[in-house]
Amino acid sequence: MKEIKGGVCAAKGFKASGVHCGIRKNKTKKDLALIYSEKKAVAACVYTTNLVKGAPITVTKANVSDGYAQAAICNSGNANTCNANGVEIAEKMCSLLSEELGIDKSDVIVASTGVIGQPLDIEPIANGIPSLVKELKTDSGDAAAAIMTTDTVQKCVSYSFEIGGKECRIGGIAKGSGMIHPNMATMLVFVTTDTAISHEMLQKALSEDVKSSFNMVSIDGDTSTNDMVSVMANGLAGNEEITCEGEAFDEFCKALNAVTTHLCRMIAGDGEGATKLLECIVSGADSKQTAVTVSKSVICSSLFKAAMFGADANWGRVLCAIGYSGAAVDVEKIDVSFKSASGEIEVCKNGAGVDFSEEKAKEILVEKEIQVLINLNSGNESATAWGCDLTYDYVKINGDYRT
């Protein structure tokens, strides 16, 4: 497996586009994105667990209930959530796009992101769809830009891999900076692949993958109303269709995880106001669930996140988060270290502090990517969670988000 260029357009038969249609006031920001497969694709999705769900979630669930899709359309600037006519608007987006592309309206994945509770006018979207289709090309940059809200960088990645001697490709784009917290889904992610795989196995792969990827990301403890991860697989790679577990399925799952993990790191590193990517790696756990619980608890701690912003090696906040996590751990066995490009330093051994250089610790923690290494010394299970530091700018961004 190797990383390649192309994002959602790396796989055969996929094109994408992004335009400014007028939903957002800033005309320099694209606000409508499209991903299209020249062949109807097998589709799988996972959705937000928030009881308050955006209208596009309802419509997409209905559309992909047969296991297929051929296009995905997404607007930014308005979440189309808590609107009386939200479902009508989402359905209209699908029908307008289907007419322009010449496909069935039930083969459209629809998504929206932005401010909740604001009416969404269909007119700018209707006016923008012809240009959106006309601008389709084998470059995912415009689509990646059009789904961004408070994101500061585009999130795009793709890989090539082999199944049965056939080259397969998989790629994705994502948006996500704030209102991100585990458990599925916590952002908008669109993945495409030319791998031939059945709907059942694609859904199985995605549902399992999110447990160790997107469910392990937290920016601010808020689970969004609109979030969704979708995968379209059009089979144009020509491999024998994956219909059961085995070597081919395992290879596909590895490639899918390479894409999702890469996007997780990009999302966490681009958290609202963030200056640092935090990666909490827990090892030596007595069970997978214990490792997951501990890593999530640490990465979600506001006090720990604030300490990382200040490059303060306050390991007590790590133990505090472990202590209230609910995981049954032996506190007297816990070891903690901080690691970055500037080195590694142990700050806690067997649940107690050790002598360490504050100067060296500061040098390690001023880097842009920080690893928090926690060894529970109680077993062989491990887990990794991703997050970011908590900064002044997070409050500034969310203090006037609607404006």
Q: 123: Cβ–Cβ under 8 A, 6 or more apart, which residues?
A: none
Question: Which sign does the torsion angle of CA 164, 46, 273, 118 carry?
Answer: positive
The bridge status of strand 166-175 relative to strand 155-163 is antiparallel
Return the structure tokens found at 68.
């297929």
| Cis amide prior to 327 (ω within 30 degrees) | no
User: 50: closest CA among 299, 264, 226?
Assistant: 226
Q: Which residue do the tokens 């800033």 mark?
A: 26
Q: Provide the Cα torsion 368, 374, 375, 376; round to 10°.
A: -170
DSSP 27: T
The Cα 54–Cα 59 span in angstroms is 9
What residue ranges in 26-154 does DSSP mark as E strands? 32-47, 68-78, 108-115
- Catalytic site positions: 186
Q: Which residues contact 355 (CB under 8 A, 6 or more apart)?
A: none
What string of DSSP letters covers 300-356? H-HHHHHHHHTT---HHHHHHHHHTS-----GGG-EEEEEETTEEEEEEETTEE---
DSSP 144: H
CA 107, distance to chain mean position in Å, is 23
What letter represents residue 32's amino acid? Answer: L
Q: How far is it, in rounded angstroms, from Cα 280 to Cα 296?
A: 8
CA distance 393 to 146: 23
Strand partners for 42? 68, 233
For residue 86, the surrounding DSSP H or E stretch is: helix 86-101
Strands 335-340 and 188-193 come out as: unpaired
Name which of 322, 320, 318, 309 is nearest 365 in CA terms: 309
